[in-house]
Structures are given as structure tokens and as C-alpha cells.
Copies of this chain bind each other. A is one copy, B any other.
Amino acid sequence: MIKVGIVGGTGYAGVELLRLLAQHPGAEIVAITSLTDIGTPVWKMFPNLRGYLDLEVLDAATTRLDHCDVVFFATPNGVAMQQAPALLEAGVRVIDLAADFRLQDIAEWERWYGMKHACPEWVAKAVYGLPEVNRTAIREARLIANPGCYPTAVQLGFLPLVEAGVVDLAFLVADAKSGVSGAGRRAEMHNLLPEAADNFKAYGVAGHRHLPEIRQGLANRAGVPVGLTFVPHLVPMIRGIHATLYARLTKEVNLQALFEQRYAGEPFVDVLPAGMCPETRSVRAANLCRIAVQRPQESDVVVVLSVIDNLVKGAAGQAVQNMNIMFGLEETAGLCQIPLLP
């Protein structure tokens, strides 16, 4: 059994990691640490876990995790870059669910995240953990930068088009919508139910931190920079991301075949039959991206619809998928739950 440590297991990505790993056939949670709630049984914070996981939160300041095979950081941005290097040097493999190792351009990272990077040398060694792009590198990786939720949905939707070179890369539009859990488990006024329910709004239009991450991922595959407009919106629902993507076709192509071939064999990407639209609940609680591609009115515009559960394929589930690849397990181990509907 792989020995797993979790740093910061008290947020939404944390509870999902606990849910998935508590029943993982090849892994065992040996420690959960946090700066708060020390000594609290995890089920007191997350009552769903009562009876399923009998662990208490340990003090992140004093708990050694060197004996773990892998440590997940489900912490705010800026924590993993402080603590991961010591673990990595002790031979522990690290999967960071935050953004510390996602951008290869350190200056850009520092501009978007408003802090100095603590270990630029590890950024170069980190592997961006999108298995549909980097599966081979992930196998050998010591440090995984687990992708953001929006970047997972948007990249998986654009990749077939970008890789095939069939769209105008200068004008890509990603209109993305997220459930409120995407904002994390933080007591913030605008995410109160009376503020966020029965309401819809855009935010971060001028610039969202996931913009450079998506641009980097698409540019890597295109071989050239891309012009991307990315507008995130808040949906009055708990979980789920829906990305609606727009691009202008520059070549004739069988879009349906292009997408089906790109993701043939991928266990966690499902290309829907032509004419269908995915809905977020069809992937609720599952490590799955469902994608549809359409060309409305036979125009030169392609529309891609991509849905994930932001906490699973957009966070904890993808992290477990990366762990499975890194340790040579079945890639689907512990990740076969059927989505929950209704």
C-alpha cells in the first residue's frame, strides 16, 4: 500500500482526497496535517466521513511526513513551495493541488500570485499533471503540479483543435462557469447562500490566475502563443464546471472524428455523440470530463462544451489519477465511482 500524507486536508479538495483515498485499493492515508483544527477528528469537519475514516488532524508545524511515499498539498497557494523541497529531498514524491508549480515562467507566476517564488529550481523539475498530455512524464515525476479546475476543462476542450492546427489561435474564447465550491471552503461574504443563490455573475474579467495557466498549456501544444479571452462566471450550484469554448475554423475537418480520435483510450475523457450537450451533473462526484463539439448553423465557428466536477477531475480526482500513474497502479484505481444523479 502506498503511504499517503495530506497537508491541509480541511478544504474542499481535502475532503475529496479523503473520500477518494479512504477507499482506494492501493493507498492508505497515514497522516492529515493542518495549521488549524488540530486534534479534531476529520468527521467533525466533514460529517460524511463519520464511520468511514477514523483520523485526527495533526499539527502541520510539528508532524514529519518523510515516511510517506507521497504527500498531497491541498493548501493555499504559497505553502507547497515552502514545504515541498524538504520532502522531495527526502525522497518523498509530492503532488501539489495549488498553483505553486504550474507556471514555468517564474516572473509571470510572481506577477499573478503576488509573492516571490520560494523554489524556482523545483518549478523547472515539476511536471504539469494533465495525464491526457503528460502521461509519460508523470510516471517518472517527483513533483506534480496538479492543474487548476478551469484549466483542466478548458484545455481538454481546446486541445484537439489546437493540436490539429485547425483554428485561428489569435482569437479563442473560453466562457467558463463554476459552482461555488470552486472558491474554496473559506468564510467569504459573497459566497454565502443568500448572496450566491438564485444569482449569476461574471468575475475576474480583467484577469484571472487561470488565464496564464491555460495560455501556457495551449501554447505548448500549438508551438506558438495563443490569443485567449477567458471569462469565469459563478453558478448557483455546489459543484461542476462548464466551459463553453469558441474558435474560428481555418481548415475543413471532421470535428467529431477529430475529438474521438484524440481521446480514444483515455479512461477519463468522454466525447459525446454528435449533437448532444453535456451537463455538469453527468460527471458529479466522478473523475471524468465529458466533451461535445458542435458547429452551429454550418458557420466557420466551432463550439466545444466541456464539463468536469471541479473537485474531482478538476482537483482531487486528477491528483489521485496522477498518483496512480506515478506508482504504476491501474490509472483508474479508486476512481471508478459512477457519477451521482439526480
Contact for A201 among B203, B205, B279, B337, CB less than 8 A: B279
Indicate if the CB atoms of A303 and B231 lie closer than 8 Å: yes
**Contact yes or no, A282 B47, CB < 8 A:** yes
Alpha-carbon distance A337/B311, docked complex (angstroms):
17
Contact across chains for A296 and B205 when beta carbons are under 8 A apart: yes
The answer, yes or no, to whether A236 is at the interface (CB within 8 Å) is yes
Bound together, the chains give a CA A47 to CA B341 distance in angstroms of 8
Kindly state the separation between the CA atoms of A278 and B234 in the bound complex, as whole angstroms: 12
In the bound complex, how far is the Cα of B117 from the Cα of A193, in angstroms?
A: 33
A242→B203 CA distance, assembly (Å): 12
A195 CA / B285 CA spacing, docked (Å) = 16
Q: Are the C-beta atoms of A46 and B194 separated by less than 8 Å?
A: no
Contacts A192-B193, A270-B51, A305-B205 hold; do A200 and B340 have CB atoms under 8 A apart? no
The docked-state distance in angstroms from the alpha carbon of A265 to that of B54 is 17
Counting CB contacts under 8 A, is A85 at the interface? no
A233 to B196, CA, bound (A): 18
From A91-99, A140-148, A157-165, A173-181, give the one contacting chain B.
Answer: A173-181
In the complex the two chains form, what is the Cα distance from A146 to B185 in whole Å?
A: 35
A303-342 with Cβ < 8 A to chain B:
303, 305, 307, 311, 336-342
- CB pair B275–A246 under 8 Å, yes or no, is no
Residue of chain B at shortest CB distance from A301: B229
Interface centre among A12, A285, A311, A338 (most CB of B within 10 A): A338
Of the listed residues A200, A277, A281, A288, the one surrounded by the most CB atoms of chain B closer than 10 A to its CB is A200
Contact B198 A244 (CB under 8 A): no
Give the chain B neighbours of A284 by CB distance below 8 A.
48, 198, 340
Contact A280 B199 (CB under 8 A): yes
Complex contact A50–B270 (CB within 8 A): yes
Of the four ranges (under 10, 10 to 19, 20 to 34, 35 or more), the interface on chain A belongs to 35 or more
Check A154 for interface membership: any CB of B closer than 8 A: no
Whether, in the assembled complex, A252 has its beta carbon less than 8 Å from a beta carbon of chain B, the answer is no
A49 on the B face (CB < 8 A)? yes
A187, A192, A270: residue with the most chain B Cβ atoms closer than 10 Å? A192
Flag whether A240 is at the interface (Cβ < 8 A): yes
Give CA–CA (A199, B227) in the complex, Å. 30
User: At the interface, yes or no: A197 with Cβ under 8 Å from chain B?
Assistant: yes
Contact assessment for A338 and B206 in the assembled complex, using a CB-CB cutoff below 8 Å: no
Write out, one digit per residue, whether chain A residues 186-224 have a CB within 8 A of any chain B CB (1) or not (0).
111101111111111111011100010000000000000
| Minimal beta-carbon separation of A53 from chain B (angstroms) | 8
19 pairs, CB–CB < 8 Å, chain A vs chain B: A19-B338, A19-B341, A48-B281, A49-B338, A171-B248, A185-B189, A192-B192, A197-B238, A198-B198, A198-B237, A198-B281, A199-B281, A203-B277, A205-B294, A207-B296, A231-B303, A238-B342, A285-B340, A311-B342
**Shortest 10 CB-CB distances between A and B: which pairs?**
A201-B279, A48-B339, A47-B282, A48-B341, A194-B342, A175-B175, A181-B194, A199-B281, A180-B193, A187-B187
Which A residues are closer than 8 A to B by beta carbons? Answer: 12, 15, 19, 22-23, 46-53, 171, 173, 175, 177, 179-181, 185-189, 191-203, 205-207, 211, 227, 229-231, 233, 235-240, 242, 244, 246, 248, 270, 275, 277-286, 288, 290, 294, 296-297, 299, 301, 303, 305, 307, 311, 336-342
